[in-house]
Structure 1
Amino acid sequence: MNFFLLLLTILPFMISCNGKEKVDLSKLNLNEPIEKVINFNNDLLVGVETVEYPFCLLLEVKNSEKYSFEDIDLKGQKIIFQINSEKLKTDSIARFGGGHIDLIPIKNENELKNNLKIFNAENKIYGIRIEMKTPSLKSGILKKIELKYGKGSKNPNTDNGLYWNVKKENKYIFFAPDYDRLIVLNNTNLSKTCYWDTFNGLIDFGECDSEKYTQELVKNSIKPEDVKNKPIIKVDNNWSINGLILGKSNEEDFEKSETNKNFERMEEINGGTGDINQIIYQKDYYDFYFYLSANKINPENKKDNIIKGYAINNFKKVEISFENGLKAGMKFNDVVKLFDKKLIIDYEDLKFANYIEIKNMPYKVTLNFDENMLFSGMYVK
């Protein structure tokens, strides 16, 4: 065997051993097994993050040198893979609005499989979301896409967004520079007339029935009109709830309170260390959740497990009142008028949003709005 043939034989092995081989995300069919597109040596997080997209499971890769797009190096950019999950097609679990993040680290194949099982998720990807932090990266990626697919269609919902419906490849491409994202999806099992996420808004590919589309996204939801014995909730001017004070009331206080009826206690475990990240009391039927910090030394000491937040995801499933003038079902613009502009995070960007974030140090209050921009849920943490 001459030297050239020998080199060709061992080169792939050398590249693999040195960890230099990159995955060109533009070349993926977006139906690959998850293990084929990730490396467990990277920082991996899996779970729900409704800032990105609420009706599927997300697998986030941070600080990786593994990826490129049309030969453009993506080192330093966050990569997110979308995974179909039937369990998350419900507002009861995933429709927290714009501010809910529930991602946990995974270190190995077993932890991945366990999380896929929890969410009834497939073991393959159907989409990618690529972070684009810099103007040069945005312009470089856009040139590559336009060279391959031509000029995109203007996204009417954002200032600079574009999209492509690549029918011959069964792909949707969404260039969302206002939110530092490129999104590419295999649309084989997606709607061919509508698309929605928080960064693109509702896209009509032609004959889009938005009501029917929304119903399909949350097809496994409990209908609010079928909910009985709704919890009674009173939110005070400091955003504490039913007398339970954020940052002060502990797990023992919660257990003794009138609010604690039929809540399920869960512990969120750090897959790498085995430590308890937080304690969650959940009432899935009512979309009602409390989040508590866990004592690092003795999490069974309930006096030291402090309430740090809560979520009420669908006001139609509870009886809720506010001391500060808010009312369930209020219009977006009417809610904005209730607060000082200085307290609203990214006030100038509200025209793009379906949620409002309010400073309430050390907490952040997220007010969520439905497809009609009516006040429909909230998250405090």
Structure 2
Amino acid sequence: MKKLLLLAILPLIFSCKSHEKIDLATLNLNEPIEKISSFDDALLIGVETVEYPFSLLLEVEKSKRYSFDGINLEGQRIIFQIESEKLKTDSITRLGGGHIDIKQAKNTKELNEALKNYDAKRKIYGVRIELKTPEIQTNILKKLETKYGKGTKNPNTDNGLYWNIKTQNKFIFYAPDYSRLILLNNTDLSKTCYWDIMNGLIDFGGCNNEKYMADLMKNATKPEDVKEKPTIKIEKDWNINGVIVGRTTEEDFLKSATNKRFERIIELDGTTGKTNEIYYQNNYHDFYFYFAASKSNPDNPKENFINGYAINDFRKVDITFDNGLKPGLKFEEVLKLLKKLKIAYHPVDFVNYIEIKTSPYKVTLNFNDKMLLNGMFIK
């Protein structure tokens, strides 16, 4: 009888515990996911590149369970960061600044499937707290300054501050300009650099940005390993695959064989709401087309004309030139070829590009850090 009674009480104990307030200010930020979340709340798990592209995110929606040092966080977005080896690549970020792939985890099975899919750990290493109102921003800041002292000014934002709490292996980023407070356990992070969209790049001293970003994207696909490379032919007049700068319409481009894996983007004027420019991006292959939008009817593809294109990395495409240029040519070799072809050019001193003026547009040939031809831009 005693055993039966104990078993009957246990569910009540766990049920009560699951609804206790969690003070995010006291977390070590290495807690198991099950300890800081509950399926009683709506849990969303996945990728959101604007929030942070290099880790798996677990968002808790409309929960009443969280606080920060006595401040009630009901109604604020709470997003936990989970380490994911699979996301240490540029393949996600290259899908665009607002790529979202988030699904609800309603039970342990669905949570486990998501963690397995992203090769992610079962514990958190950070939390991102939404600070919707000026009142909560002020109250949070007071708590931080009382506990950790005055923060260091973030040079990248107007009002941002940060703390490097070495004794606790913590980074704290107060970003009111973007309505965020971010707390990270930096045990397995860089101790000299930090970057996200809302804070910019923070140098804690001795930051090697190139090395840091390479580590964030250490599993990125090598350019030479990119799949399904588009075939590109640059004609003598610098037009591309029969697409003629200044003449080809958006409608013509959409019907062409070149239009594969491109996403249409509209750039709007923030003041008037009118369309400034239309462009098509293929981020996976670093390949872009730009269109001048019709002033009278930008929604009509017959009235929008191509005014430029860019290929940022020749290693990600199969490209040939009618004028004799080749990917990987040395800077000096390109200059000799342009002289031979009597093409007017302007090499810019101390800069790794060459400008070619060809009315009504300008061609820019780009070279990598070894001064080898690896990209071009026409507009």
Category of TM-score, reference length = shorter chain: 0.5 to 0.7
Is the 1:48–1:103 contact (alpha carbons within 8 Å) kept by the matching residues of 2? Answer: yes
Q: Which residue of 2 aligns with 1:21?
A: 20
- Provide the secondary structure at the position in 2 that maps to 1:157: coil
| Structure-to-structure mapping, 1:1-381, within 5 angstroms | 16-17=15-16, 20-227=19-226, 230-231=229-230, 243=254, 312-314=282-284, 317-324=285-292, 325-328=307-310
Partners of 2:252 and 2:79 in 1: how far apart?
A: 35
Contact 2:281-2:289 within 8 A present in 1 as well: no
Aligned residues: 264
- The Cα shift of 1:41 comes to 1.7
Write the deviation string for residues 47-71 of structure 1: whole angstroms up to 9, x where unpaired.
Answer: 1101111111101111000100001
Contact 1:84–1:125 at 8 Å: present in 2 too? yes
Give the 3 Å change call, closer, same or farther, for CA 18–99 of structure 1 in structure 2.
Answer: same
For the residue of structure 2 that corresponds to 1:129, the secondary structure is strand
The letter of the residue matching 2:156 is: N
- Post-superposition offset of 1:151: 0.3
Higher CA-based Rg: 2
**Residues 46, 103 of structure 1: 8 Å contact kept:** yes
CA deviations 1:267-306 (Å, max 9, x no partner) are xxxxxxxxxxxxxxxxxxxxx5889xxxxxxxxxxxxxxx
CA deviations 1:296-320 (Å, max 9, x no partner) are xxxxxxxxxxxxxx97334xx2544
Q: Distance in 2 between matches of 1:105 and 1:326?
A: 41
Displacement of 1:193 in angstroms is 0.5
Provide the rounded CA distance (Å) in 1 between the counterparts of 2:161 and 2:90: 28
Going from structure 1 to structure 2, the CA distance change for 1:320 and 1:171 (only over 3 Å counts) comes to same
Q: Distance in 1 between matches of 2:78 and 2:249?
A: 37
Give the aligned residue type for 2:162. Y
CA distance in 1, matches of 2:210, 2:110: 37
Cα distance in 1, alignment partners of residues 252 and 39 from structure 2:
41
- Output the CA distance in 2 between the equivalents of 1:82 and 1:181: 14
Deviation at 1:223, TM superposition (A): 2.2
**TM-score normalised to structure 1 length:** 0.62
2:282 alignment partner AA: I
Secondary structure in 2 matching 1:113: helix
The aligned residue for residue 361 of structure 2 is none
**Which ranges of structure 2 fall in alignment gaps of 5 or more residues?**
1-8, 233-242, 265-279, 293-306, 313-374
Deviation string 1:182-238 (CA, Å, 9 cap, x unpaired) is 000000000000000000000000010001101011011112255475226989999
| Distance (Å, rounded) in 2 between the aligned partners of 1:50 and 1:181 | 15
Counterparts of 2:167 and 2:72, CA distance in 1: 26
TM-score, normalised to structure 2, is 0.62
Given the superposition, is the C-alpha separation of residues 244 and 17 from structure 1 closer, same or farther in structure 2, using an over 3 Å criterion? farther
Change (3 A) 1:95 1:322: closer
Query: How far is 1:240 from its partner?
Result: 8.1
- 1:114-162 deviation digits (Å, cap 9, x = unpaired): 0011110111100000000011100101100110000000000000000
CA distance in 1, matches of 2:105, 2:34: 12
Separation of aligned partners in 2, 1:19 and 1:124: 17
- CA–CA distance in structure 1, aligned partners of residues 13 and 67 of structure 2: 19
Deviation at 1:42, TM superposition (A): 1.1
Render the CA deviation track for 1:308-333: whole Å, top value 9, x for unaligned. Answer: xx97334xx25443333354379xxx
Verify the 8 A CA contact 2:156 2:199 in the aligned structure 1.
Answer: yes
Other structure's SS at 1:159 match: coil
Gaps in structure 1 of 5+ consecutive residues: 1-9, 246-256, 261-287, 292-309, 331-375, 377-381
Kept in 2: contact 1:82–1:126 (CA 8 A): yes
Q: Deviations over 1:237-261 (max 9, x none)?
A: 998895279xxxxxxxxxxx8867x
1:8-40 Cα offsets, whole Å, 9 max, x none, are xx9xx6795396510000111111111111111
Q: CA deviation at 1:74?
A: 0.2
Amino acid across the alignment from 2:291 = E
Mapped contact 1:237–1:323 kept (Cα < 8 A):
no
Tell me which amino acid in the other structure corresponds to 2:310.
A
Q: Over aligned residues, Cα RMSD in angstroms? A: 3.4
C-alpha change, 1:111 and 1:206, in structure 2 (3 Å) is: same
Change (3 A) 1:146 1:33: same
CA contact (8 A) 2:18 2:38 kept: no
Separation in structure 2 between the aligned mates of residue 105 and residue 128 of structure 1, nearest angstrom: 18
